[in-house]
Amino acid sequence: MSEKKKNSLLIVDDEKMTLNFLTHVLGSEYTIYSASTGENAIKIAREYLPDLILLDILMPGMDGYQTLSELRNCMETSRIPVIFTSGLSSTEDEEKGLSLGVVDYITKPFSGLIVKLRIQNQIQIINQLRIIEYLSMIDQLTKIHNRRSFDERLRMEWNQAIREQTTISLLMMDLDRFKNLNDTYGHQQGDIVLQTVAKIFPHSFSRPGDFVARWGGEEFVVLLPNTPSVGAKEIAEKIRTDVESVKIFCPNGSSIKITISIGVSTQLPVHDSPIDAFISNADKALYAAKEAGRNKVIHSCL
């Protein structure tokens, strides 16, 4: 049985004694990263994306306030919760820290037990929020990503494609004659068909960056970062044949054969390129595949 992954903390303090103390108090329960300057803290946070940051306010050079500002201005680290640690113990100092968006304020000298309990509380909140966020991004029927999750991933991959000047491809897919299937076999069997098709996708492409989601109803989408038109068409054709080859058995012993139509859109996006046109192009290609007799792949480049 695999060991549960520990949550991670980044401890930022210019005093070595404080770093050693906090590492000793928290090291058995969490993966610890440490930094003695704001500049190093930002680098480590970007590289390792810790679950929580303990940030000293009074540091030479870049202080805690400046470090927090830099963390918030970076997309990768902007949502990492931060706890301020400081020898400044006045109400005004604590109010200032909390007003800047830190989740807690721990004053020095530290009590090991209080530090542990406060970290524990924040980690519990973080883990609960992640579960809620995960569930909000998953289609409950098929257990793959939902449209909200796709929209978020598309924005991220689109911006990366612009920065790196790479092509990005989209497959818009629709199960053929799904309404007839529901009318003939019932919605419960229709749900089984959707679940079965969703399980096919991971076997049709293997790169970790490829992303599949349920678009809605009997429609699915696959996002293919850094994929030119030739590669996108190959993956689309693999999905089409994989779906076509599957038999889905009914309770009475009969079986259902299904097919899928796929529209493919490929683009090399630049600044101000509209995402809506990219999606619309895939949708138009899907419509053309339906019009051409279904169970086909149609590709259209922008």
User: What does the DSSP assignment read for 177-200?
Assistant: THHHHHHHH-HHHHHHHHHHHHHH
Cα(43)–Cα(106) distance, rounded to whole angstroms?
24
> By the 8 A CB rule, do 71 and 53 touch?
yes
- The token pair at 206 is 């293997």
pLDDT tens-digit readout, 12-44: 999 999 999 999 999 999 999 999 999 999 999
Q: What is the pLDDT of residue 87?
A: 85
Give the model confidence (pLDDT) of 73-84 as tens digits.
Answer: 988 899 999 999
> What's the pTM value of the predicted model, to 2 decimals?
0.71
pLDDT of 203 reads 86
pLDDT tens profile 90-119: 788 778 878 888 999 998 889 999 999 999
Pick the closest to residue 26 from 15, 11, 14 (CA basis): 11
Q: Which residues are annotated as catalytic?
A: 218
**What's the mean pLDDT in 225-250?**
94
Can you say whether the dihedral through the CA atoms of 128, 130, 131, 136 is positive or negative?
positive
Environment class of 136 (CB within 10 Å of its CB; exposed 0-12, middle 13-18, buried 19+): exposed
pLDDT tens figures, 257-280: 999 999 999 999 998 889 999 999
- CATH hierarchy code of domain 147-301: 3.30.70.270
What does the pLDDT read at residue 302? 54
Looking at residue 286, its amino acid is L
pLDDT band of 3, cuts 50, 70, 90: low
Q: Confidence band (pLDDT; 50, 70, 90) for 1?
A: very low
pLDDT at 277: 93
Residue corresponding to tokens 């994306």: 49
Among residues 162, 152, 172, 151, the alpha carbon closest in space to that of 268 is found at: 162
Judged by DSSP in three states, 209 sits in coil
Residue-level pLDDT at 301: 57
Q: Which CATH superfamily does the domain covering 8-136 fall into?
A: Response regulator (3.40.50.2300)
**What stretch of H or E contains 294?**
none
pLDDT of residue 155: 93
| Digit-coded pLDDT (tens) for 158-217 | 999 999 999 999 999 999 999 999 999 899 999 999 999 999 998 888 788 899 999 999
Is the Cα dihedral 40, 44, 49, 53 positive or negative?
A: negative
With the CA atoms of 176, 180, 182 and 184 taken in that order, what torsion angle do they form, in degrees rounded to the nearest 10? -130
Q: Which DSSP letter does residue 145 get?
A: B
> Regarding predicted confidence, which is higher, 251 or 32?
32
Parse the chain into domains and list their residue ranges: 8-136, 147-301
